Amino acid sequence: MAEFFEMPQASPTMEVGTVLAWKKAEGDSLKPQDVLAEVETDKAAMEIEVFDACVLLKILAETGAQVPAGEPIAILGNNKDEDISGLLAEYEARKAAPKTKPTPAVTAAPSAINPSAQSSTAPTQTGITPFSWAGKTVNSAIMEMPQFAIVLPTSSPGAQPLPAGKVRSSPAARAAARRTGVNLGAVMGTGPRNRVTRADVMRHAAGVPAQAPPAPPVRAIPLPTANPGDTVVPNSNMRNIIAKRLKAAHDDAPVFFLTRQFDCDAMVAFRDALKAKGQKLSYNDIIIAACGRALRDIPEINAAWADDAIIQRSAVDIGMAVALPGGLITPVIRGADTKSLADIAADTRALAAKAKNGKLGPTEYTGSSFTISNLGMKGIAHFTAILNPPEACILAVGAMAHTPVVKDGALSVGYRISVTLTCDHRVVDGALGADFLSAVAGYISDPSRI
């Protein structure tokens, strides 16, 4: 039976995909895992495969077309003679219909969220629709930062309030709810991102109807307009996602910065010795390895904020910021606390090359627990970096310099690097961040420990 093949959502942040090339023509037969098309997402260019044997009956999106995730880009069927007139009519109707975002409903019967046991479109008890890709359950490895949309229950007789544990609320609100016997699921939240506040709970307990949240403020600074002679460069999918995620991180997380100089004399000598033996190794590779060992020593840094808890990651997966012509991406070095320097060097070279060619897969750029951004090769002595959500820390590494230093009371020269650790204060306190930098400095000053 013929059916639509939809633009897959290759990552949770992807909103639109661009069709770069069709690898099959109309009428071609495909086997499972055959490549149907190449699509540019917000992160990279990816080859899209089919899951079952089929025939490409109709191409709906031309090369270069930008299509929202979940919208049809082709029609697939079992044989070339299938009637697709109904699907074509439905496709034209969908194109003509106004674009609205569906609101997931809340199921009445509470049940544990188990995407593998539910339909890919059936909402869960919290109103979260499990992510799917062309009808298949998405691997949890690409779930970077899911946005949870909670639908508040109505006052209709059959409505069931959400369980209190599923509602975004402040600690004071939860305490007030326990004292007054109020179910948080039935309370209209007026705080940031619909968070239920203590005042909301007390209003509900007193029977006072909640007021709608205030309208968002008018921009204090208007958006710029292009003047004659200006060059207008449309934002790529990647640039739009970078803007949204980093603005959200900047607005949501209370951060502070810790700056320290590393004594790099031993690291320089260590790398020179390995280089003389024919081993290719960069200073950045050594810093990644040092941070991996330090995160293993101080696991409280390898963590993320989750409103009601702090999640300490079991795996030390370090993101490595790589600059691209259209933005920035962070390939991930998995298990950086246990890999040898040679393995880390091989990983960084391979991942950087794939990133610059737009060939990274979703599991290669998602799920990092800590990020390093190194601008030393650009001659930048010192800078600060914005958090890569949902991580608690990011390390900004400046250029190595041969500078005057004082050793044993005498003036000398030595190699030094200035680094700045950006910390989410909800997870990391100043003393803890300082301890982590001290641990990294210890490995840098004695690389034989790595």
The two tokens of residue 197 are 């506040």
Residue 246's Cβ-count burial label (10 Å; 0-12, 13-18, 19+) is middle
* Cα 247 to Cα 389: distance, rounded to the nearest angstrom: 10
Question: Rounded to whole angstroms, how far apart are CA atoms 351 and 332?
Answer: 8
Query: Residue 448: what are its φ and ψ, rounded to 5°?
Result: -65, -15
In DSSP terms, 19 is beta-bridged to 39
425 among known catalytic residues: yes
Q: Which residues pair with 362 in a beta bridge?
A: none
Closest to 262 measured CA to CA, from 449, 385, 397: 397
CA distances from 401 to 221, 378, 380, 414 (A): 40, 13, 10, 8
Token reading at 335: 């298990």
Rounded Cα gap, residues 353 and 401, in angstroms: 27
d(Cα 231, Cα 246) in Å, to the nearest integer? Answer: 25
> Of the listed 204, 250, 402, 425, which one is catalytic?
425
Dist. CA 68–CA 83, nearest whole Å: 26
Q: Rounded to the nearest 5°, which phi and psi values hold at 80?
A: -70, -20
Output the six-digit token pair for 257: 């910065």
Three-class HEC string of 342-396: HHHHHHHHHHHHHHHCCCCCHHHHCCCCEEEEECHHHCCCCCCCCCCCCECEEEE
What does the alpha-carbon distance between residue 120 and residue 111 come to, in Å, rounded to a whole number?
16
Listed in order, strand segments (DSSP E) in 41-168 are 45-49, 54-59, 66-68, 72-77, 132-133, 136-137
Q: Dihedral of CA 155/159/164/166: which sign?
A: negative
Catalytic positions = 425
